[in-house]
Structure 1
Amino acid sequence: MTMPSTTATSGNFGNLCGNKTGLIPDDNDPHCYYSCLCLVLASLASSRRLICAYNRLAEARADYGQFSVSDIDPNLCTHLAYASADIKDNKLAPVDVGDVQQYIDFNALKESNPKLKTLLIVGGTTFDKKKFSSMVQTKENRAEFIDSAVKLLRTMKFDGLILDWQYPGGPGSQPQDKQRFTELCKEFRNAFEADGIARGEDRLILSASVAAERAIIDASYEVEQIAEHLDFIVVRAFDFHGPWENVTGHHSPLYTGPQDTGDNIYSNADSAMSYWRDQGAPAEKLNMGIGAFGQAFTLASDSTAVGAPARGPAEEGCYTGKEGFWATYEICIYLEGVEIQRISGQRDPFAETQNQWVGFDDKTSLTAKANYLNEKGYGGAFVWSLDLDDFKGEFCEQGENPFIRQLHDLLVPGFPQSAITTPTPNYKNTHNYPNYNTHNYPNYNTHNHPNYNNTHNYNIYNTHNHPNYNNTHNHPNYNNTHNHPNYNTHNYNYPNYNNTYNYPNYNNTYNYPNYNSTYNYPNYNNTHNYPNYNSTHNYNIHNYSNYNNTHNYNIYNNNHNYQI
């Protein structure tokens, strides 16, 4: 399906100014009052961000849904963010041993684009919030975490960190965690500055992914204080509505819609961005979170409008495998030949097919959002995630990465050629790893993964077998077109996995004397056994039924109704 497109127009201040110099207004050129103003505006445009997340779990998907580091185009986004890392014993750590090689490959993308910045995300929607809460309890715990983060980021050549705690002071944490999160940001910033000075290198970047809902913002963040310490902030403006609710709603509308009443008038990107700004966060530090996906519902009546009765999530995406969650390319598959509708008076699209309702973003709505960010002077956008775009150009008939490319062309059109960089002394030499193999990990095998294949047992992918897929979605040639007769043939057989990543002196090099005992996974297979893989994303785990009583946020359940 070819989605509607909108051509954006923007002023080229350099051409408008021509060869004029000085500070004298040109009465004949209303677009350019001062030549210096033009230069300032051009500089602001070149410093805008497009941050794109890489979801490590996408590598385990089958067939066309499988996405790995090698599929990333390093020239589309100003920042790439690896999602995600873990907290183990108050230390920043990889989720599992396979991430070490992925970190190396991920950061090697900067060899193709030296202007690219890479970040590591810690936390996320399904992350155990208690790990954050435990880590921030004491100054000593925080110092241990920060020290481990500096070591891991520098060793793996990341440029910075995104804290994705959902949410300080909320379920799974303590009320005091709101203030402790501020302290964590402050201490991180001080440590990053000291490390940069000591190394004679660029300081590591510090960012946070934060809530977009006003009730959570008030409960979780000291906005002005954390904004002082963070280099930029990602506002998660892409989960305002979803199939956990009993009526349809667009998950990421730009403005208030005609159907919005009560507190729902705040459930939109403009309201979220404005609230963060009005609470003291500088506009240039704020980045709008945009999802390259749709939230999909199963309708409960004949109505197909926004606000129509719904009875739960739509069917799972044929590649992503999660009910009610469709990647951009899956939306192109399902909506082929279907009429696209838009919220009255807005550009946010939605559609219905076979009793399945989905709200999403397309070129028209992305253009509106990009123009909004440019006009308001915000820092840029964050996209979740690279693997959800039509990264191979197989389905949407718009070439590779049409979703992210649209944002690139509107927000950072000259990147990477026009990016402004500040060189730091001896950067290349200080990061020179000519003997990279001397990071030897002699006891790598002591992570006890003799049955690595069983550890990441993806046998449940058999349950994604869609023998009647053609009948359900009325795509008679689906199987023949994409030829998936061996859907289950993604046999993740790594018989020599330990030999492949042979790091003989791991403990000595990284000075982790108890690394093996600390991260000993004797029951690793059971820990990461995914017999019910689909239940991982079960929205029931976000049960906020007692949230009001505990933290006295009376409007929380009314706004977001997570009871299911």
Structure 2
Amino acid sequence: MLLSVWILLLLIFNNYQIINAANDDDKLIFCMYLTRSAERQADGNFQVEYIDERYCTHLIYAYMGIDDNGVIKSLNPILDFEEKSGRGNIRKFNNKKHYNVNLKTLVAVGGWDPTESSRRYSLIFLDEANQDRFVKSTIDFIVKHNFNGLALHWTYPGLNGGDVNRDKHNLTSLLRKLKEEFSKKNLLLVAICQGLTSQIDDSYNVKDVSQNVDYIYLTSYDLYGEWSKHIGIASGLYLHPNEEDKGLSVDSVVTNWINRGAEPKRIIMGIPLFGRTFTLKYENQTEPGAFHVGPGRKSQHLQYAGIMSYMELCQVLDKEGWTIKWEDTQKNPYAFKDDQWIGFENTRSLEIKSRYVIDRKLAGIAAVFVEDDDFRGFCGEKYARLKLLNGYLRSGRESSFEYILNVSVFKKNLKDQYTQCVYHLSQPLDIS
């Protein structure tokens, strides 16, 4: 009986590896997790344990910071570590790999925290000794905490107080050093980069970036916001016909990076799981390009003006009588009610964007942010957006142990293999 159990477990593991293996045609799905979502209130609160690792090929833990000497540091030790009665979220995050054997995890450094400004990074990385300390401390951190790599998010070189004359060179130098040391330990390196055409050349030597990273994650979902002169869909695939700035589309972002020397196989295209909201100046002017007076009102769960998660918008659009329109040129929906306006993604736009990723032969997409999907299932299935993206980009496969035990083909193969194995073990041993 004991031998039979061991045979069964061995066969399960073998078939699990086969089902969980990536198809050559599958695209990558990076899922970014903002650690501060663990401090949201009520139904918006999102703990690390809620992440469903089945729907991601890569998970990004965002964010860490750096000190004035270039050494990586936690921005919230109580959340990140277990010491001093902390929550130990980093350990819980990396334990997700126990349930998806192909999952890769990365730690993100930088982002939009006020302490991690572009001006500060510009001053720190001006010193090559600080670059060296960053490389060493980051590798030590990754190895110690069982990550698979780094996602560097300097927002943004040469901009926001940075040095337009030096930052591009210093970023390239830093990436080159990281890549050289990371390759010795088989670690992944991702650069998170902005894509507005008017600013690419101020921030990046595109060809050098592409040659020194594994992937370039493009933030192609912040094309419009409260900073814009007029309302617009923040992740419109193509340019609105009345838009004068020819760089304000996802296609423009991707194309401009490729034209400047980025390899398509390295590009990860960001897709938002949230919508950008505005407050209209005139309620009777609702098309993209209309005037606004600022961001939309704070949403129920995020409590952040100008942004509404999919979990929130799927409820309000259904229950509060919003008017929903399809912008056919941009291939994206938008909605409005009274003086509130939102541009977002739906099933149709996600399918079109997925086809775009496939047709352009990009590496994959980044779902931003995992906690903004309908993780509580208020509007139906939990993680409805991530499930759709997996269906479009990854042959609809899941990779959890629970899934494996419910696949009919797997069960038939397992039964056949088990029967054959037991039969052969029952036969006399031939040692001639």
What SS is found at the alignment partner of 1:83?
Answer: strand
CA deviation map 1:19-60 (0-9, x unaligned)? xxxxxxxxxxxxxxxxxxxxxxx95413x2100001111111
Whole-angstrom CA distance in 2 between matches of 1:153 and 1:279: 31
Distance 2:62 2:198 in 1: 26
Question: Structure 1: any 5+ residue segments left out of the alignment?
Answer: 1-41, 197-202, 419-564
Query: How many Å separate the matches in 2 of 1:313 and 1:351?
Result: 15
* Counterpart in the other structure of 1:339: 323
Q: Percent identity?
A: 30
Separation of aligned partners in 1, 2:98 and 2:307: 34
For the residue of structure 1 that corresponds to 2:144, the secondary structure is helix
The corresponding residue for 1:214 is 197
Q: Give the Cα–Cα distance (whole angstroms) in 1 for the partners of residues 329 and 206 of structure 2.
A: 32
Whole-angstrom distance in 1 between the partners of 2:24 and 2:264: 12
Q: Residue 247 of structure 2: which of 251, 266, 277 is its match?
A: 266
Paired position in structure 1 for 2:309: 327
Amino acid aligned to 1:404: L
Aligned partner of 2:180 among 177, 182, 190: 190
Q: What per-residue deviation string (whole Å, max 9, x for no partner) do you get for residues 113-169 of structure 1?
A: 111000011011233223422331122111111000000000000000001001111
- The match for 1:360 is 344
State how far apart, in whole Å, the 1-side matches of 2:95 and 2:63 are: 17
Shift of residue 97 of structure 1? 1.6
Q: How does 1:436-475 map to 2 (within 5 A)?
A: none
Contact 2:31 2:367 in 1 (8 A): yes
The answer as to 2:388 corresponding to 1:406 is: yes
Output the CA distance in 1 between the equivalents of 2:40 and 2:389: 26
SS, match of residue 349 in structure 1:
strand
Matched, 1:244 2:227: yes
Structure 2 counterpart SS, 1:75: helix
Q: Secondary structure in 2 aligned to 1:150?
A: helix
Tell me whether 1:300 sits opposite 2:271 in the alignment: no
Question: Is the 1:185–1:229 Cα contact (8 Å) retained in structure 2?
Answer: yes
Q: 1:182 to 1:416 in 2, by over 3 A?
A: farther
Q: In structure 2, what is the Cα distance between the partners aligned to 1:91 and 1:308?
A: 45
Q: Which residue of 2 aligns with 1:373?
A: 357
- Which amino acid counterpart does residue 64 of structure 1 have in structure 2? D
Which of 105, 118, 134 matches 1:118? 105
| AA partner of residue 160 (structure 2) | P
Residue of structure 2 equivalent to 1:176: 166
Counterpart in the other structure of 1:78:
57
Distance 2:159 2:295 in 1: 25
Aligned-partner residue type, residue 312 of structure 2: E
Give the 5 Å matches for 1:34-53. 44-46=24-26, 48-53=27-32
CA displacement 1:494-516 (0-9 Å, x = unmatched): xxxxxxxxxxxxxxxxxxxxxxx
* Equivalence for 1:128: 117
Structure 2 stretches lacking a partner, 5+ long = 1-21, 82-87, 401-432
Verify the 8 A CA contact 1:87 1:131 in the aligned structure 2. Answer: no
AA at the equivalent of 2:25: A
2:47 to 44, 68, 80: 68
Measure, in 2, the Cα distance between the counterparts of 1:157 and 1:125: 25
Amino acid at match of 1:116: L
Is the Cα–Cα contact under 8 Å of residues 246 and 312 in structure 1 kept in the other structure? no
Q: Distance in 1 between matches of 2:182 and 2:295?
A: 43
Question: Partner of 1:313 in structure 2?
Answer: 295
Contact 1:338/1:353, CA 8 A, preserved across alignment: yes
2:412 aligned partner: none
SS of residue in 2 equivalent to 1:70? helix
Structure 1 distance, partners of 2:160, 2:43, is: 37
Question: What per-residue deviation string (whole Å, max 9, x for no partner) do you get for residues 394-425 of structure 1?
Answer: 1x23x00111111111112355659xxxxxxx
| Partners of 1:95 and 1:347 in 2: CA distance | 38
- The number of residue pairs the alignment matches comes to 365
TM-score by length of 2: 0.82
1:141 alignment partner in structure 2: 130
| Alpha-carbon separation, structure 1, partners of 2:229 and 2:166 | 33
Matching residue's letter, 2:107: L
**Distance change >3 Å, CA 415–CA 125, structure 1 → 2:** farther
C-alpha offsets along residues 409-449 of structure 1, whole Å, 9 cap, x if unaligned?
1112355659xxxxxxxxxxxxxxxxxxxxxxxxxxxxxxx
Does residue 1:152 correspond to 2:166, yes or no? no
Distance in 2 (CA, whole Å) between partners of 1:412 and 1:134 is 42
**In 2, Cα distance between the equivalents of 1:378 and 1:82?**
23
- 1:446 corresponds to: none
- The corresponding residue for 2:90 is 103
Say which structure is richer in strand: 2
Residues 249 and 307, structure 1, Cα contact 8 Å, conserved in 2: yes
The runs of at least 4 aligned residues of structure 1 exceeding 6 Å deviation read none
1:354 shift after superposition: 2.6
Q: Provide the C-alpha distance between the structure 2 equivalents of 1:305 and 1:278, rounded to a whole number of angstroms.
A: 31
Asked whether the 8 Å contact 2:35–2:61 carries over to 1, the reply is yes
Q: What code does the residue aligned with 1:331 have?
A: L
TM-score by length of 1: 0.63
Q: Secondary structure at the match of 2:355?
A: helix
Contact 1:107 1:118 in 2 (8 A): yes
Q: Is the 8 A contact 2:154 2:192 kept in 1?
A: yes
Could you tell me how far 1:245 is from its partner in structure 2?
2.5
